Amino acid sequence: MTDWLDEIHWNEDGLVPAIAQDHKTGRVLMMAWMNREALALTAAEQRAIYWSRSRGKLWRKGEESGHVQKLHELRLDCDADVIILLVEQLGGIACHTGRESCFYRVWENGAWHTVDPVLKDPHAIYQGHKHE
């Protein structure tokens, strides 16, 4: 039997893009990368675990902020090269800026406009930790 992880088309760096969506509203919360270990652990632990390219290590979403993403469902696209995680975002904040979603800017009239409020000051969230 083929390992389910072998069906994924990992990029040249051994990564696959992963999009986190709110499992109730469908809102896109964030995009990050996963390697094989991160995806296997996400499935095993039923929480979002990504690969931090900047830190070169596994990143358990919420390990510093407390804003854990509880996994409800994993989906793989038709080309097997993008993962979607349907999650419950604990604390209601996915973005290190203190917003619900990392996609808080809207393009309008030739410029990007911030349309979502900061729900919690990032300094209060991380208290000296480097943001996620």
Say if residues 47 and 16 touch (Cβ distance below 8 Å): no
Sheet holding 16-22, edge to edge: 57-60, 49-52, 28-34, 16-22, 83-89, 69-76
Q: Is 79 annotated as a binding residue?
A: yes
Q: Is 77 annotated as a binding residue?
A: yes
**Phi-psi region at 11: left, alpha or beta (left = phi > 0; alpha = psi -120 to 50):** beta
Q: Is 95 annotated as a binding residue?
A: yes
Q: Is 81 annotated as a binding residue?
A: yes
Q: Which residues are annotated as a binding site?
A: 77-79, 81, 95, 102
Q: Which residues are annotated as a binding site for Mg(2+)?
A: 77, 79, 81
Q: Which residues are annotated as a binding site for Zn(2+)?
A: 78, 95, 102
